[in-house]
Amino acid sequence: MRIVADIGQCEGLGMCEAMAPDIFEVGPEGHVVIHDASPDESRRQDLQAAVDACPVLALTMQD
Amino acid sequence: MTTDLRRLVVVGASLAGLRAVEAARRAGFTGSITLIGAERSAPYDRPPLSKALLRADAPASVSPFHTEEHLRTELGVDLRCGAPATGLDIDHRRVLVGADRVDYDGLIIATGAAANAWPLGAGVPGVHPLRTAVDALAIRAALDAGKRVAVIGAGFIGSEVASAARARDLPVTVIEAAPQPLTRSVGPSVADVLTGLHRSAGVDLRVGTQVTEVHQNASGVTGLTLGDGNYLPAELVVLGIGARPATGWLRDSGLALHRDGGVLVDATLATRAPGVYAAGDVAHAPLSVFDDEVVRLEHWTSAAEQGAAAARHLLDPDTARPLQTVPYFWSDWHGHRLQFVGVPTADEARVIRPEPEQFLALYRRGDRVVGAFTVNGQREIMRYRRHIVGHAPFEDALAEAGAHDRAAV
Ligand SMILES: Cc1cc2nc3c(=O)[nH]c(=O)nc-3n(C[C@H](O)[C@H](O)[C@H](O)COP(=O)(O)OP(=O)(O)OC[C@H]3O[C@@H](n4cnc5c(N)ncnc54)[C@H](O)[C@@H]3O)c2cc1C
Ligand code: SF4
């Protein structure tokens, strides 16, 4: 499982950070910084929540 | 999944409706899905309508979340656009679409909200609400033509239109009946700073006054007379006076409606009618995180969250849990990002940083923090959300703000 952010799309709205703060953070440039791009399978729900919560659809999950 | 439900019907083909469809398929639902929508187009995103789409360099059309082809083949949806539902029979589990009947085992109501009417300007060319792609393209064309702009209502959408006009260097006047913009959404002490953002961007903001007359000639609106007697020339008038739930089709259904017309649901989004859920801008739901205060939110993230949850709960009621929604919205004004998380109904809204370009206010109810409002606070807003969702004491949020300030210097 991998998580990919489209930085061109990301507007730094921060919902991903709200869903999984240890994995996502809005960085100094106002874009998402991914701390762990291949998290453990046990985090699937959190990641899906982050993908779904992003208002500009900047995040995708790849198996 | 523990369901013998075969026919899922979703009414309202926008964000909440689409998320319901996607969540149903993701949960393994293999029955039929009918998605009924009043608009001609497949579901598309609304926030860009008052932001990117009004820019001079914006694309000429609005692209949907998914093509109709994708909805039909990948998601297995029977898509019926341009066909508004006209009635609901909860006893026979049936949606009426004109003369057609669509039977359901499970129904999700996601008809959202429609722009409030403005009787003074009804039928006058050049007077536009802003709710749909069609509205946005008409407003964009008028901005392209360099029309003088008046915006009625200094809410979020009206304010974004004013920002779009100023970004093109067009003169714009915003007329607000209340003494300050957005008092209801952010509270009075915060409303002040918002006034400042508009004024310093060159918006002519007239508060505490109303339009008394709309002037027009053969080609459309030419100007407005205000309550204070002033005359304002304008060839484009944009209405930012709010929206009301689109539930005319439910009037005779027997479903419990709020006095504003919205659909009343419980904390799992279920109505009292069997197999019927509601989600998004149309729904009044209790906020479990905030003392079960019942609210109808008009925000992107909650509409998306509720749409998906309604589908999951409908398909598997045994696993339904109260949603832990924390309201959140953002808005872009004159190059500044405004963000609000939580609720503004508080005992106190304390301004922590008064500078309009890095503004921070925290909202206290009793001794807990219930809300945070920032301008250009992208790096910190979600930290306050964590305190809010955890019912943290107000002191903790204050400490967080202090820590953020120290890290910033
Ligand atoms: C211009 C604009 C800017 C916005 N900006 C932001 C923002 O920056 N941040 C934010 O958080 N939120 C923003 N929002 C709010 C956000 O877009 C809404 O919360 C969201 O669209 C709600 O989704 P929904 O699916 O519940 O309802 P809606 O998007 O209102 O969709 C309801 C759909 O149901 C259809 N419908 C209505 N009646 C019927 C019927 N009888 N039969 C069939 N279909 C019907 C409608 O035509 C519509 O397509 C904005 C909204 C607008 C209009
Ligand atoms: S939610 Fe989306 S837009 Fe917001 S920071 Fe995360 S990736 Fe970026």
Q: Give me the pLDDT at residue B12, please.
A: 98
- Residue B397 CA to residue A44 CA, distance in Å, equals 29
pLDDT, mean of residues B237-264: 97
Q: For the domain bounded by B7-114+243-319, which CATH number is listed? A: 3.50.50.60
Q: Which of B319, B297, B292 has the alpha carbon at shortest distance from B307?
A: B297
pLDDT at B236 over 70: yes
Angle at B269 between CA B248 and CA B94, to 5 degrees: 50
Question: CATH 3.50.50.60: which residues of chain B?
Answer: 7-114+243-319, 117-239
Nearest CA in chain B to A49: B305
Question: Is domain B335-408 given the CATH code 3.40.1440.10 in the classification?
Answer: no
Closest ligand (CA of A54): 2
Q: Which of B137, B169, B149 has the alpha carbon at shortest distance from B52?
A: B137
Q: Give me the pLDDT at residue B3, please.
A: 64
Q: How many Å separate Cα B209 from the centre of its chain?
A: 25
What's the pLDDT tens digit per position in B336-380? 999 999 999 999 999 999 998 999 999 999 999 999 999 999 999
Domain spans of chain A, in order of start: 2-62
pLDDT at B161 over 60: yes
Query: Which ranges constitute the DSSP H helices of B262-317?
Result: 300-315
Antiparallel, parallel or unpaired: β B127-129 and B113-115: unpaired
Q: Write the single-letter amino acid at B184.
A: R
Residues with CB under 6 A from ligand 1: B 11-17, 36-39, 46-47, 49-50, 84-85, 110-113, 130-131, 157, 246, 249, 280-282, 298-300, 303, 329-331
For residue B331, the cross-strand partners are: B338
pLDDT at B2 over 60: no
- Residue B104 CA to residue B257 CA, distance in Å, equals 21
Q: Give me the pLDDT at residue B102, please.
A: 98
pLDDT, mean of residues B31-50: 97
| From A26, A52, A57, residue closest to B379, measured CB to CB | A26
Helix (H, G, I), strand (E, B) or coil at B354: coil
Q: How many helices (H) and strands (E) does chain B have?
A: 9, 26
pLDDT, mean of residues B317-323: 94
Class of domain A2-62: alpha beta
pLDDT at B315 over 80: yes
What's the pLDDT tens digit per position in A1-54? 899 999 989 999 999 999 999 999 999 888 999 999 999 999 998 999 999 999
Residues with CB under 6 A from ligand 2: A 5, 10-16, 24, 26, 32, 54, 56, 58-59
Q: Give me the pLDDT at residue B183, please.
A: 76
Query: Binning pLDDT at 50, 70 and 90, where does residue B192 land?
Result: confident
Pick the CATH number of B117-239 from 3.90.340.10, 1.10.1060.10, 3.90.550.10, 3.50.50.60: 3.50.50.60
Query: Binning pLDDT at 50, 70 and 90, where does residue B406 land?
Result: confident
B328 chain-A contacts, CB cut-off 8 A: 15, 18
Q: How many CB atoms lie within 10 A of CB B407?
A: 9
pLDDT at B141 over 80: yes
Chain B contact present for A30, CB below 8 A = yes
Ligand 1: which atom is nearest the Cα of residue B85? 42
Q: Give the pair of three-digit tokens for residue A10.
A: 């990301």
Atom 4 of ligand 2: nearest residue by CA position: A13
pLDDT, mean of residues B118-136: 97
Query: Are residues B112 and B16 in contact, defined by beta-carbon separation less than 8 angstroms?
Result: yes
A15 chain-B contacts, CB cut-off 8 A: 301, 328, 382
Q: How far is A3 from chain B (nearest CA, A)?
A: 18
What's the pLDDT tens digit per position in B76-87? 999 999 999 999
Model ipTM value: 0.85
Q: What is the mean pLDDT of chain B?
A: 95
Q: Number of Cβ pairs closer than 8 Å across A and B?
A: 40
Q: Give me the pLDDT at residue B1, please.
A: 52
Contact across the interface for A26 and B386, Cβ inside 8 Å: no
- Residue B221 CA to residue A29 CA, distance in Å, equals 43
Q: Give me the pLDDT at residue B49, please.
A: 97
CB environment B63-88: b (16+ within 10 A), e (fewer): ebbbeeeebeeebebebbbebbbebb
Percentage of chain B modeled with pLDDT above 70: 99
The answer for B71, left when phi > 0, alpha when psi is -120 to 50, beta otherwise, is: alpha
Query: Are residues B339 and B374 in contact, defined by beta-carbon separation less than 8 angstroms?
Result: yes
- Residue B142 CA to residue B231 CA, distance in Å, equals 21
A17 chain-B contacts, CB cut-off 8 A: 382
pLDDT at B291 over 90: yes
Answer with the residue of higher pLDDT: A20 or B187: A20
Q: Give the pair of three-digit tokens for residue B292.
A: 């079960």
B337 chain-A contacts, CB cut-off 8 A: 12
What's the whole-model pTM score? 0.95
